[in-house]
Amino acid sequence: MPKKIIHEFKVEFLQILDEAGRVDRTLWPALDEKEVKGFYEAMLLIRTFDEKALNLQREGRLGTYASVQGQEAAQVGSATALRPSDWIFPAFREPGVSLLRGLPMRMIYQYWSGDERGSAIPEDQHDFPIAIPVGTHIPHAVGAAWAAQFKGDPVAVATFFGDGATSKGDFHEGLNFAGVFRLPIVFICQNNHWAISVPLSRQTASATLAQKAIAYGFEGIQVDGNDVFAVYTAVKNALEKARRGEGPTLIECFTYRLSDHTTADDASRYRKAEDVAAWRKKDPLVRLRALLEREYGWSEADEQTLRRQAQERVAAAVHEFEAVPPANPEAMFDTLFANLTPDLLRQKEQLRKRLQKKERD
Amino acid sequence: MSKLNLVQAINQALRHEMEKNPDVVLMGEDIGPDGGVFRVTEGLIDTFGARRVVDTPLSESGIVGVAIGMAAYGLRPVVEIQFMGFLYAAMEQLISHAARLRTRTRGRYTCPLVVRTPYGGGIHAPEHHSESTEAFFVHTPGLKVVVPSTPAEAKGLLLSAIRDPDPVIFLEPSKIYRAIKEEVPEGEYLIPLGEARVVAEGKDVTLIAWGAMLHPTLKAADQMAEKGIEAEVIDLRTLSPLDSATILRSVEKTGRAVIIHEAPRTCGLGAEIAARLCEEALLSLEAPITRVTGFDTPIPLPKTEKYYLPDVDQIVEAAEQVVGF
Ligand SMILES: Cc1ncc(C[n+]2csc(CCOP(=O)(O)OP(=O)(O)O)c2C)c(N)n1
Ligand SMILES: [Mg+2]
């Protein structure tokens, strides 16, 4: 019996817009000027939202917040490719995706301020709430994709997670189910190279994260995660494939977390300033702006107008967020089950009496 | 002796034991160069190297699972789970394996591992970062559960936990990580597991607490003292095995018991303590055993968590009701 190779694998990498803002026309996804500018507008809005969140946190108006700076292209590219009827299952660093899906910006601030009402997703949206326990939402996304397939609905599911999440059993179990049942799902891994202070080299000995899909019997692709066109193209293709019933895809967006892990973190303890500086040069906004300037006559005045508009939108959302009446503590009982149990009724009454007494004192 | 907070005291205990015992290995997420998200392992990687202070892949089940194998082979793994809310992925490893390796093999293999994890509310943390589910672990035969309430206690209990021949869940109340400083004995300092501590003596009512809740309980006792009520305060410090003898002795004297925990009420550890008192001290009781606890809901997010957590007023009110019964 000869020894022979019975399988060989390859992993593709996709980049359309390079660091200098030049486009590979052979791979261009046929977007018009309005669409290209729309991408930039969305990315700038997310950056502005994020900078404001960091300020609000410093002023004590938000709790711990996980900044998304550096990952705007990964989020805009994928969110734009999704249809409203598709479902998404985010981790905790996808405010950009949530915003583009139509979640009111106020609610995102509300959630990070420590108010459950920020997770009360509007009825017309197919978005799951944020998942704080890393990777735990991946099987939920798989289950929803299965249900969509079961019901014959023409929808796909996308789930977002980080490089750290690929170490969790949930990730592997989710991908395995998706492969076995050929489910209409796209796994979007934002490989930002860090899981708090733990570098990618401590999550895997694999050359890429994309190749993990191969073991589960489907395609994985790595894209330049700071190139909004590459992300858009890969996610769009994968969603169409899913909707055609041709199964799942894993997309590794190769990107970088420019900020601290959260406002509770100090990344200077564990990573070099030079490394961050090198990635700043690859900032997804900078390269898209360079393209706009070169090919679409984007001027400083256009830039300033757009920035002002973004700031106005963010300011309006902050205003709404701060105008929300204080959370009612009694609400903690109300949505635990469909109906209040006798114990919960009693406990709610206790709390009400306690609050009344406090008011009297 | 030097004045340390709880974080520093645990750090000192880890350092002490790692110096003494080359088989002690630390594993967890962000415990290396970052020193842990609460800085408990700060500087240990500089002294002991990345071979003994190991940043692992992000996998709680993996961390606990490999620690079981390491422990059985002959190392003394001390793992850090970043928050109690992330320990749940490792439940199968803990319940099905760590807790019963010794008894399944009739003593052939043992599992001397320590799982350290911050727990409890009141730190304005995001979702899943304020859990207090100690009862899950107490309910698991084969696990020991330890909760320190002060820096010196933390050191003495952790050294005993690491030297214990069986698996220990070591719950660190994050609310008081930096809230209290006290003298912590240097070098060897051991507090045996399984012994509760009578923190204040009194004859009118017994207040039983542990971890962060000990502190509002002590304040409540002070307030009651001003009104002439003498409360005896017990810090359980080991939840499993539970020191029934100390609790019984106290309640036989006072005839009254209030149990305080921030965990949800139903099937919280208070229920077990109340049951034991009913079984063994019924004739000493002069009032119903009372619990001051969290509600049977998940702990709310920061905006409303203070309405969930027991406070000094509630403890005083409950204790006065019991005394006036
Ligand atoms: C199960 C679990 N373990 C630990 C944590 C604490 N934690 C929060 S985020 C994080 C790192 C996540 O890294 P990654 O998946 O790469 O996502 P990123 O933060 O980079 O977006 C850790 C360890 C958690 N939230 N959940
Ligand atoms: Mg990451």
Q: From the CB of B88, is ligand 1 less than 6 Å away?
A: no
Q: From the CB of A95, is ligand 1 less than 6 Å away?
A: no
**Any CB–CB contact under 8 A between B284 and chain A?**
no
pLDDT in tens, B139-184: 999 999 999 999 999 999 999 999 999 999 999 999 999 999 999 9
Residue of B nearest to A65 (CA): B126
**Mean of pLDDT over chain B:** 98
Tokens representing residue B151 in the block: 């820096």
pLDDT in tens, A173-204: 999 999 999 999 999 999 999 999 999 999 99
Tokens representing residue A200 in the block: 């990618």
pLDDT of the residue at A361: 85
CB B289 within 8 A of CB B304: no
Task: Quickly state the pLDDT bin for A1 (edges 50, 70, 90).
Answer: confident
Identify the burial level of B279 via C-beta atoms within 10 angstroms of its C-beta, where 0-12 means exposed, 13-18 middle and 19 or more buried.
exposed
Q: Give the closest-approach CA distance of A301 to chain B in angstroms.
A: 40
Helix then strand count (H, E) for chain B reads 11, 14
**Any CB–CB contact under 8 A between B129 and chain A?**
yes
Q: Give the closest-approach CA distance of B55 to chain A in angstroms.
A: 7
Query: Mean per-residue pLDDT for B231-255?
Result: 98
Q: Is B128 a catalytic residue?
A: no
Q: How far is the CA of B36 from the centre of ligand 1 (A)?
A: 13
Q: From the CB of B131, is ligand 1 less than 6 Å away?
A: no
Closest ligand 1 atom, residue B89 Cα:
1
Smallest-distance ligand from the CA of A197: 1
Q: How far apart are CA A131 and CA A111, in angstroms?
A: 12
pLDDT in tens, B35-65: 999 999 999 999 999 999 999 999 999 999 9
Protein residue with its CA nearest to atom 17 in ligand 1: A162
Identify the burial level of B55 via C-beta atoms within 10 angstroms of its C-beta, where 0-12 means exposed, 13-18 middle and 19 or more buried.
buried
Protein residue with its CA nearest to atom 11 in ligand 1: A195
pLDDT of the residue at A246: 98
CB B80 within 8 A of CB B28: yes
Could you tell me where in chain B the CATH 3.40.50.920 domains are found?
197-323
Closest ligand 1 atom, residue A93 Cα:
21
Query: Mean per-residue pLDDT for B66-77?
Result: 98
B30 Cβ neighbours under 8 A, 6+ residues apart: A196, A197, A198, B36, B37, B55, B82
Contacts with B56 from chain A: Cβ below 8 Å: 198, 202
- Cα dihedral B202, B203, B205, B211, rounded to 10, equals 30
pLDDT in tens, A311-343: 999 999 999 999 999 999 999 999 999 999 999
Catalytic residues of A: 257, 261, 270
Task: Give chain B's length.
Answer: 325
Task: Quickly state the pLDDT bin for B2 (edges 50, 70, 90).
Answer: confident
**Any CB–CB contact under 8 A between B267 and chain A?**
no
B226 Cβ neighbours under 8 A, 6+ residues apart: none
Closest ligand 1 atom, residue A190 Cα:
21
| Residue among A233, A245, A134, A253 at smallest CA distance from A185 | A245
Residue of B nearest to A163 (CA): B58
Q: How far apart are CA A295 and CA A40, in angstroms?
A: 14
pLDDT at B1 over 90: no
Q: Residue A195: which of B58, B296, B308 has the nearest Cβ?
A: B58
pLDDT of the residue at B144: 98
Query: Mean per-residue pLDDT for A287-302?
Result: 97
Tell me whether residues A197 and B30 touch, CB distance under 8 A: yes
Beta strands at B53-55 and B24-28: parallel, antiparallel or unpaired? parallel
Q: How far apart are CA B109 and CA B72, in angstroms?
A: 6
Task: Quickly state the pLDDT bin for A102 (edges 50, 70, 90).
Answer: very high
Q: Residue A269: which of B33, B62, B265 has the nearest Cβ?
A: B33
pLDDT of the residue at A217: 98
Helix/strand/coil percentages in chain B, nearest 5: 40, 20, 40
pLDDT of the residue at A358: 87
Q: From the CB of A248, is ligand 1 less than 6 Å away?
A: no
Q: From the CB of A90, is ligand 1 less than 6 Å away?
A: no
| Residue among A256, A354, A76, A169 at smallest CA distance from B313 | A354
Query: Mean per-residue pLDDT for B244-263?
Result: 98
pLDDT of the residue at B17: 98
Neighbouring-strand partners of residue B257 = B206
Q: Give the closest-approach CA distance of A266 to chain B in angstroms.
A: 9
Helix/strand/coil percentages in chain A, nearest 5: 50, 10, 40
Q: What percent of chain A has pLDDT over 90?
A: 98
pLDDT of the residue at B98: 98
**Any CB–CB contact under 8 A between B109 and chain A?**
no
Tell me whether residues A168 and B59 touch, CB distance under 8 A: yes
Contacts with A360 from chain B: Cβ below 8 Å: none
Catalytic residue among B129, B139, B215, B261: B129
pLDDT at B227 over 90: yes
pLDDT of the residue at A100: 98
Query: Mean per-residue pLDDT for A253-258?
Result: 98
Query: Mean per-residue pLDDT for A80-86?
Result: 98
pLDDT in tens, B275-321: 999 999 999 999 999 999 999 999 999 999 999 999 999 999 999 99
Closest ligand 1 atom, residue A191 Cα:
16
Q: Give the closest-approach CA distance of A72 to chain B in angstroms.
A: 23
Task: Quickly state the pLDDT bin for A306 (edges 50, 70, 90).
Answer: very high
Task: Quickly state the pLDDT bin for B128 (edges 50, 70, 90).
Answer: very high
pLDDT of the residue at A12: 98
Instruction: Tell me the pTM.
Output: 0.97
So what's the ipTM on this one?
0.96
**Any CB–CB contact under 8 A between B43 and chain A?**
no
Q: From the CB of A137, is ligand 1 less than 6 Å away?
A: no
Q: What is the CATH class of B2-184?
A: alpha beta
Could you tell me where in chain B the CATH 3.40.50.970 domains are found?
2-184
pLDDT at A121 over 90: yes
Q: From the CB of A225, is ligand 1 less than 6 Å away?
A: no
pLDDT at A140 over 90: yes
Q: Which CATH number does B197-323 carry?
A: 3.40.50.920
Does residue B241 have a cis bond before it (omega within 30 degrees)?
Answer: yes
**DSSP assignment string, B260-284:** EEEEESTTSHHHHHHHHHHHHHGGG
Task: Quickly state the pLDDT bin for A289 (edges 50, 70, 90).
Answer: very high
